[in-house]
Amino acid sequence: MAYTETRRHELRKSRMLMIDGHLAVNSRTAESGISARVYRDGYWGFASAPGDAGLPAVTDRALRNARAMTRFGERQALALPAEVHRGAHEFRGRPPLSEAECMERLAELHAWCARRYPELESTRFMLSDEDHAKHVGTDAGADAANRIQRAQCYITFSAVGDDGAPVELTESLSAKGSLGDLTLGVEALAPLLDKLHEHVQAKRHAVAARGGLHTVVLAPELAGMLAHEAMGHPCEADLVLGGSVTAGLVGQRIASELVTMIDAAHHFAGEETMIPVYADDEGTPARDAVLIERGILKEFMTSRETAARLGIPATGSARAYTPHDEPLVRMRNTVIVPGTAKLADMIAGVDDGVLVLKTGNGQADSTTEFMFSVTLAYEIHNGRLGRALRDTTISGSAIKVLSSVDAVSDDLYWSCSGYCGKKQPMVVSMGGPALRARAHVGGQ
């Protein structure tokens, strides 16, 4: 079995950071390159070079690298899945913002916040977008052009807490497309900014969380993170091959019957997703991977090689971040399917617990023990919201936490901000409704 794949890849990014009205970062970058990956005699060779290098030379180098691996002995080559995709896909959003328009938006936001919230110590606004254009071909006939674009805006307010130490809170906005597809006007953002300010004021008087197992209501903004970290990573086939405990659990109950979780390729509920992947970077047609269906573990996300190793279908989940990276199994648009409960009722039904509204980063584990940082949470007592909590962390075994889910709201919130980290960064989206579950809260 032999296989050759080539990729032309251009990655463009822009980033502007305004701290208290001062433009600290104003950068636009473009990285282009070509790569080839060759599978021969059970080994891989990879080579990449700047965009003006010749593809035949890069492919030849990859082939020589694969052949050089035979120094480690003979190896049985796998029969890789053969499906190929031919086609081009590109999101056509609103016109991108010019440099001058970006500066105007930043200056307006800063000036408006400085006037409206004079007691804040500091404001930070970060605008960024990135545009991945890839053209993948394989010797089996794949010919796929994909363009993934996403834009982000981070708004951070800093104030002084009761103890004299700084208190911060960040709101992130994200959109498919360029910065032109993000709503950045002051009028439109005013309610969101007021809410952020209100939360920062509450955090100034925040109390430490009580450590231990609690009933937590996770706002829709967090369910996607839970999906991604708790059970998304453990369902990536390379991690399954690497020892993830999910390896032996297909067909078994690992979550409440209320939980259905999908890694959507390019559409969900009839709409194109924020990171639409029609074909992955191996030229495989991308299809949805239903990870959990009504609480039962169903399948994994795969590349060609991991699909062959596990004897399961290829889902078109192999993606590379830069022109110099090889494709790895990555999530695309991971979502917990909405239920029927109302968020207000879910809170009202908690005697003693925590409402979690905003998160920072998260981390998964092969054991399915996950964590994510919590930057905004409130106590719940007798069904009512209480004091804000200082920054904390939520963790638990994904299987235990998802099995404890007793309510899933009818909301659905999507986000494509931040990066998923796994050897390479990656742009992904996450979505979900509010969930109520039992999880470990860090604290005193």
Partner 1 sequence: MNDTSESIIGRAAASALAQMRRQGFEHAQAAASVLVLTELNVAHNDPSLLRSTEQRKLSLLGIVDGRKASTELTEFHDDAVRERIESLHAQTLCAPRDDANAVSSGQQARIVQGPQAPDEAVLAGKVQELLDFRARETPKMLVDEAFVAHTRVESRLLTSGGSDLACRLGWYGMNVFGTAREGNRSSSFAYTGGSSDDLSSAHACAHFGIEEMLRDTERQIDTQPVPARFVGDVVLSPGAVADLVEWLQGQVGDMQLIAGTSLLRQRVGEQVASPLLTLKSRFDAPGVAAVSADGFATPAVHLLKAGRLVTLLPSLYGSRKTGLPHVPVAAAGWEIEAGDTPRAQVVGGVARGALVGRLSMGMPAANGDFSGVIKNSFLVENGQVGPALSEVMIAGNIARMLNDVVSVSRERIDTGDLHLPWIRIAGLHFS
Which residues ranging from 73 to 102 are in contact with partner 1 (CB under 8 A)? 75, 98-100, 102
Per DSSP, the three-state class of 61 is helix
For 117-251, where are the alpha helices, taking DSSP H only? 186-204, 220-226, 237-241
Q: Which is nearer to partner 1, 298 or 324 (CB)?
A: 324
Which x/- pattern, by CB under 8 A, does the window 315-344 give for partner 1?
---------x-x------------------
Interface positions, 406-425, toward partner 1 (CB under 8 A): 423
Residue 24 binds partner 1, judged by CB under 8 A:
yes
Residue 312 binds partner 1, judged by CB under 8 A:
no
Which x/- pattern, by CB under 8 A, does the window 229-268 give for partner 1?
---------xx-xxxxx-xx--------------------
Closest CA to 406 of 335, 358, 336, 346: 346
Interface positions, 119-178, toward partner 1 (CB under 8 A): 121-122, 124, 158, 161, 163, 165-168
Measured CA to CA, the distance from residue 363 to residue 368 in angstroms comes to 10
Q: Which of 7, 47, 127, 263 binds partner 1 (CB under 8 A)?
A: 47
Q: Which of 396, 431, 432, 433 binds partner 1 (CB under 8 A)?
A: 396
Q: Which is nearer to partner 1, 103 or 383 (CB)?
A: 103
Measured CA to CA, the distance from residue 374 to residue 290 in angstroms comes to 28
Q: Which of 172, 201, 373, 424 binds partner 1 (CB under 8 A)?
A: 373
Alpha-carbon torsion, ordered 234, 236, 242, 247, to 10 deg: 60
Q: Which is nearer to partner 1, 51 or 141 (CB)?
A: 51
How many helices (DSSP H) and strands (DSSP E) are in the chain?
A: 8, 26
Q: Which of 1, 2, 29, 192 binds partner 1 (CB under 8 A)?
A: 29
At 10, which amino acid appears? E
DSSP string, 17-60: EEETTEEEEEEEEEEEEEEEEEEETTEEEEEEEETTS-HHHHHH
Measured CA to CA, the distance from residue 196 to residue 279 in angstroms comes to 38
Q: Which of 212, 269, 352, 410 binds partner 1 (CB under 8 A)?
A: 212
Q: Which is nearer to partner 1, 147 or 210 (CB)?
A: 210
Q: How far is the CB of 338 from partner 1 (least distance, A)?
A: 26
Q: Cβ(16)–Cβ(24) under 8 Å?
A: no
Q: Phi and psi dihedrals of 235, rounded to 5?
A: -100, 10
First vs last C-alpha separation in the chain:
57
Q: Cβ(439)–Cβ(367) under 8 Å?
A: no
Q: Calculate the alpha carbon distances from 179 to 79, 95, 103, 428 in Å.
A: 43, 9, 12, 17
Stretch that binds partner 1, among 49-57, 311-319, 346-354, 427-435 (CB under 8 A): 49-57
Residue 8 binds partner 1, judged by CB under 8 A:
no
Query: How many C-beta atoms lie closer than 10 Å to residue 258's C-beta?
Result: 21
Angle in degrees, CA 87, 88, 92, rounded to 5: 150
Q: Name the helix (H) or strand (E) containing 345.
A: helix 343-348
Stretch that binds partner 1, among 141-149, 261-269, 273-281, 369-377 (CB under 8 A): 369-377
Stretch that binds partner 1, among 263-271, 289-297, 342-350, 355-363 (CB under 8 A): 355-363
Q: How far is the CB of 281 from partner 1 (least distance, A)?
A: 15
Q: Which of 7, 61, 176, 332 binds partner 1 (CB under 8 A)?
A: 61
Residue 51 binds partner 1, judged by CB under 8 A:
yes
Q: Which is nearer to partner 1, 20 or 293 (CB)?
A: 20
Q: How far is the CB of 239 from partner 1 (least distance, A)?
A: 7
Residue 329 pairs in a beta bridge with 318
Q: Which of 6, 65, 174, 429 binds partner 1 (CB under 8 A)?
A: 65
Stretch that binds partner 1, among 30-38, 135-143, 254-262, 406-414 (CB under 8 A): 30-38
Place of tokens 């409960």: 341
Residue 365 binds partner 1, judged by CB under 8 A:
yes
Measured CA to CA, the distance from residue 18 to residue 15 in angstroms comes to 10
